[in-house]
Amino acid sequence: MAMSERPGDTGNRTPGQDRDAGGREDDLDRRRKELDAAILARRPAAGEKDRADGSSGMAGIGNALKLSSEFIAGIVVGAAIGWIIDRLAGTSPFGLVVFLLLGFGAGVLNALRSAGLITQAGIRSSGKDEGGSGRK
């Protein structure tokens, strides 16, 4: 009788069980190799990665500076206009609060336009109405 390999094993095995274990290992090795090949195919080459990392890092910093300056400029201009209106009309602090909120909205809108997430007013990106529809 065969000795059991595990504490709870009875030692009763059929001849096909050893072959199935080896088949499973072969199948796992084959699938692992296919997965490694798929990962390597999706991964960029070493030269492309170095080029992309070097240029995108500085481009990302430049884009972040541009977006933050668009946002802050809207707030500063809104606050300045509100402060001037408060000084001239004597409505302190209502003009400052109102124009600060308007400046915040304008800053968000400018940042979104600069990022390309929304288009300029009056410009349509879809080509449905273009091309001689006859409407004006």
Q: Tell me the average pLDDT of the chain.
A: 78
Residues with Cβ within 8 Å of 89's Cβ and at least 6 positions away in sequence, in order, are 95
CA distance 12 to 6: 12
* 19-23, 25-29, 130-134: least confident range: 130-134
Model confidence at 68, pLDDT cuts 50, 70, 90, reads very high
Mean pLDDT of 70-77: 94
Q: What is the pTM of this model?
A: 0.49
Q: Are 70 and 111 within 8 A, CB to CB?
A: yes
* Sequence-ordered list of residues with C-beta below 8 angstroms from that of 15, at least 6 positions apart, any chain: none
